[in-house]
Structure 1
Amino acid sequence: MTPEEIDREFLKAYEKASTTTRKFPPDIMLKFYAYYKQATEQEGIYTPSGENDVRSAFKLNALLQVKGISVLEAKKKYIDLVNEHIGDE
């Protein structure tokens, strides 16, 4: 796939993930979060903020796990994750 095709597929995958009514375990939700942030963050590493220190720690850990992958690879992995867990809903 070309980068433009990946961008289109990523946007479709994001739309599916945003509108699904399915409930996912926390580890899957963290993967969605980390791949999305890696794919869309333009200014280096994104640092989660919030009122819950434990939740922020889990988010930061998920982000650190994907830190070394490119934006394009993060988009591909996000698309794969959506296809695996949501499919053609």
Structure 2
Amino acid sequence: MTAKELEIAFQNAVDKVNSHKEPFPADVLLRLYAFYKVATRDQSRPGSKTPLINAFKANALFQVQEMDIDEAKKSYVAYADKYFQSIS
């Protein structure tokens, strides 16, 4: 997959996740959150007002800290695809 194809697949997956109306399981959201943060090089801190949620987000980020950007994009796409296949 070329860099352009990967970017398109990633953006399509992000759009699909963002437009999904049903709630996601917490574990799925945390994984997608971590992959997205790495894929977009977003280094802002978790911004929840609930310390426990911030702790879970920080843990999810810790688990993917060694991923590079392309690997995170591929993981996001694959994880989103797997989730949507499991609910259809």
TM-score by length of 2: 0.89
1:62 matched residue in structure 2:
60
Rounded Cα–Cα distance in structure 1 between residues aligned with 2:78 and 2:3:
15
How far the C-alpha of 1:13 sits from its partner, in A, is 0.5
Q: How does 1:6-85 map to 2 (within 5 A)?
A: 6-41=6-41, 45-85=43-83
Cα RMSD for the two superposed structures: 1.5
Where structure 1 has 5 or more consecutive residues not aligned to the other structure, the ranges are none
Identity of aligned residues (%): 35
Residue correspondences, number = 86
Q: Which runs of 4+ in 1 moved over 2 A?
A: none
2:51 partner letter: D
TM-score, normalised on structure 1? 0.88
